[in-house]
């Protein structure tokens, strides 16, 4: 009986020790993330993911719009907007929307709504092609390859969120496409001066609750850190799987 109690006691101490280490690790990570949120590092890494592999060469034959969940939604609307702008810039290019859809009720699908948003900018429906079978970046790239057939000279322009551009281009190249450029759907900047009153501009020391860096920048950069970490995890997974 005593041996069982001792064994149980050791087990509890091991659990408590492991839990303590886990909580301390989480705390350290959180403090590092908060500290980084007061710097420009999160945005710089985010920007790097969106621009490092862009390198558009020549005029695209196809503008590939990667799906982004529900429509309307921030991701889908941003990508539709940038895709339409690219289609206006390259009037000969076809637009491929890659997003799973219910083909039996296609008119109510998110892919169809993305097409409608693109058409609202003056893009003809005849230029839009749908790829509805792919369920992730890798399978979507393969489905686009099947759709177009293997062509060494085909030129693609990928439209997606900034953090997704790097992995997306590498995946399409791995699938066999030789000429792949990217168009990151960056949000437009907003002047922080518009959030400060004339009286506050004259103050040398602003109230803590009125500082833009605390009201907006810190929280935005914290959310960017989550996006960046998630994307690097995805990049690691794709590398292990041989997708990139």
The token duo for 116 is 């409608």
Tens-place pLDDT, residues 156-196: 999 999 999 999 999 999 998 989 999 999 887 666 666 66
| pLDDT at residue 208 in the model | 44
> Is residue 208 assigned to a domain?
yes
> Is residue 60 assigned to a domain?
yes
Coil vs helix vs strand at 109 = coil
Eight-class DSSP state of 147: H
pTM: 0.81
CA distance 226 to 229: 5
* CA distances for 148 relative to 51, 86, 118, 234, 241, angstroms: 26, 20, 21, 26, 24
State how many domains the chain has.
1
| pLDDT at residue 218 in the model | 79
> Is residue 49 assigned to a domain?
yes
CA distance 174 to 168: 10
CB neighbour list of residue 177: distance below 8 Å, 6 or more residues apart: 141, 145, 154, 156
* CA distances for 201 relative to 189, 192, 210, 226, angstroms: 20, 11, 11, 32
On whether the CB atoms of residues 89 and 60 are closer than 8 A, the answer is no
The CATH number that applies at residue 238 is 3.40.50.620
Cβ-count burial 205-225 (b if 16+ within 10 Å, e if not): eeeeeebbeeeebbeebbebb
> Is residue 244 assigned to a domain?
yes
CA distance 150 to 148: 7
Eight-class DSSP state of 120: T
For residue 102, what are the domain limits? 37-244
> Is residue 4 assigned to a domain?
no
| pLDDT at residue 129 in the model | 94
| pLDDT at residue 58 in the model | 80
CA distance 237 to 244: 10
CA distance 159 to 139: 16
> For the chain, which ranges sit under pLDDT 50?
208-209
């Amino acid at each position: 009986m005593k041996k069982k109690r001792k064994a149980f006691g050791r087990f509890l101490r091991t659990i408590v020790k492991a839990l303590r280490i886990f909580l301390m690790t989480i705390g350290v990570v959180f403090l590092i993330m908060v500290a980084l949120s007061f710097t420009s590092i999160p945005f710089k890494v985010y920007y790097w993911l969106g621009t490092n592999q862009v390198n558009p060469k020549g005029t695209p034959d196809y503008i590939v719009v990667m799906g982004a969940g529900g429509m309307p939604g921030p991701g889908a609307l941003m990508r539709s907007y940038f895709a339409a702008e690219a289609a206006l810039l390259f009037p000969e290019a076809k637009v491929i929307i890659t997003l799973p859809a219910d083909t039996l009720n296609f008119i109510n699908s998110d892919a169809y709504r993305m097409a409608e948003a693109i058409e609202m900018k003056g893009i003809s429906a005849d230029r839009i092609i749908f790829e509805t079978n792919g369920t992730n970046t890798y399978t979507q790239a393969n489905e686009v390859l099947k759709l177009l057939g293997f062509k060494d000279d085909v030129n693609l322009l990928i439209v997606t969120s900034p953090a997704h551009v790097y992995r997306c281009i590498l995946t399409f190249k791995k699938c066999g496409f030789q000429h792949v450029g990217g168009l990151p759907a960056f949000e437009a900047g907003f002047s922080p001066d518009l959030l400060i009153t004339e009286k506050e501009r004259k103050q040398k020391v602003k109230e803590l609750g009125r500082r833009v860096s605390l009201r907006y920048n810190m929280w935005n950069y914290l959310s960017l850190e989550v996006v960046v970490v998630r994307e690097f995890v995805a990049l690691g997974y794709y590398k292990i799987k041989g997708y990139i």
